[in-house]
Amino acid sequence: MRTLILADACNPEWPSLPIVGYKAARAIANHADVVVATHVRNREAIERAGGCGRAVVEYLDTEYVAAPLYKLSMLLRGGAQVSWTTEVAAYYPSYLAFEYEVRKRFGSELARGAFDVIHRLTPMSPTLPSPIARWSDVPFVLGPINGGLRWPPSFGSELRREREYLTYLRGLYRWLPYHQSTFRRAAAILAAFQHTIDDLPPGVRERAIDFPEVGIDPEIFGSAPERMDTGRVEFLFAGRLVPYKCPDLAVEAFARSPALRAHRLRIIGDGPMRAELAQRVAAAGLEDCVSFEGWKSQAEVAQSMRNCDVFVFPSIRELGAGVVVEAMACGCVPAVVDYGAPGTLVTPQSGVRVPLGSKAELVERFARALEGLTGPASERIRLGEAARARAESLFTWEAKARKTVEVYDWVTGRRADRPIFEEPTNRTDPGKRNG
């Protein structure tokens, strides 16, 4: 199976999407004959890593477009994290240039059938079309893509603090050139979670496969030690201290619960909410049970997950939630909001899902849920072991690569039935969009 993987973002040294693209491509190359087309900006990092596994890597240069548009994107976003609006305004032309360079480099090989599959791995945004789907007759696989999760209506304050004012205009991306042909001509669409599938254009969902983009490295996240019952439960929050992740909700749960004050909440990460969180901890007299540990390396976060009992993740608009799977792999019991990705990644057998509500309701519900996890250690150990087993069976990069190759077999006719990522559970996804 010879596959051309398009991964504009593919970098082992850059967090989030670039490292996900790199690890996914490297794992797929263990199961297929892979050529990765990526941007020249990734060359040095990939070469320092010794390449991309068994894949052949071809570097394409679009800096003639990408460099000026990157400056524009920072101007539009004020130097902060890039939103989907910035993608459309700035990254879209840059990505068109990338696929144009792909066609220049590989057009003759595609025309003579040198590749069985084209797989656009990154970008993973459904708002960014892929013109190669129209430019080539080779079976085209898109994704995993992730998007379409609405802001919960009770969290307008968090939406404004995240500066997501234009989220209501998101649907305009459907009018971009090549959008319709991308989905119409895709032989398979890997769509992360039900909220993304519900956001797909009409008539293409029969080719969609629920396929989360998150993955784990077992050599980093795993091997949970035997946990000792010290009588004091170790709770952990890890992530950016930003409004939509609601770290203040975890602090407030401790502030309102005398029972939780007998235990400990460790907060790993940093961000614009750090000062207000510290003020709330001081005002509530929580210094003895809530600590701030700042940024840590990936390996250090993994070790903290192995040393803690419960992973507290009250994020209210989480599309991917890779950190939840990482905690699960370490045997740390996840307690998450039952909305979007976390509510799908966690099952009742492997963690605690807290029903979505207003912020005040969530504080109360999280406090009760966390109190319920301070009982006998045997229950936390049972949940933690089930979480670890679920993460290892579904979310290692190797397990996901094998599933990806099953998709390749399906779109090339080597497999008759459409693959599935996980057996359905007959539960309604609370992240499902309405209307």
Do the beta carbons of residue 125 and residue 147 sit within 8 Å?
yes
Structural domains present in the chain: 2-215+396-411 (3.40.50.2000), 234-393 (3.40.50.2000)
Quote the pLDDT of residue 231: 84
Instruction: Calculate the alpha carbon distances from 104 to 42, 141, 282 in Å.
Output: 19, 20, 60
Alpha-carbon gap, residue 342 to 353, rounded angstroms: 8
Tokens of 413: 């006719």
Among residues 413, 408, 257, 381, the alpha carbon closest in space to that of 309 is found at 381
Question: Distance of alpha carbon 335 from its chain centroid, rounded?
Answer: 17
Alpha-carbon gap, residue 307 to 213, rounded angstroms: 26
Among residues 328, 362, 331, 357, the alpha carbon closest in space to that of 345 is found at 328
pLDDT tens-place values along the chain, 435 residues long: 999 999 999 999 998 899 999 999 999 999 999 999 999 999 999 999 999 999 999 999 998 887 776 676 666 555 444 444 555 556 788 899 999 999 999 999 999 999 999 999 999 999 899 999 999 999 999 999 998 787 777 666 665 665 554 555 456 667 788 999 999 999 999 999 999 999 899 899 999 999 999 999 999 998 766 767 778 999 999 999 999 999 999 999 999 999 999 999 999 999 999 999 999 999 999 999 999 999 999 999 999 999 999 999 999 988 889 999 999 999 999 999 999 999 999 999 999 999 999 999 999 999 999 999 999 999 999 999 999 999 999 999 999 999 999 999 999 999 999 999 987 654 444 344 332
**Counts for the chain of helices (H) and strands (E), in that order:** 17, 13
Contacts of 231 (CB under 8 A, 6+ apart): none
Quote the pLDDT of residue 27: 98
Quote the pLDDT of residue 114: 97
Quote the pLDDT of residue 76: 55
- DSSP three-state, residue 5: strand
Do the beta carbons of residue 348 and residue 365 sit within 8 Å?
no
Quote the pLDDT of residue 63: 87
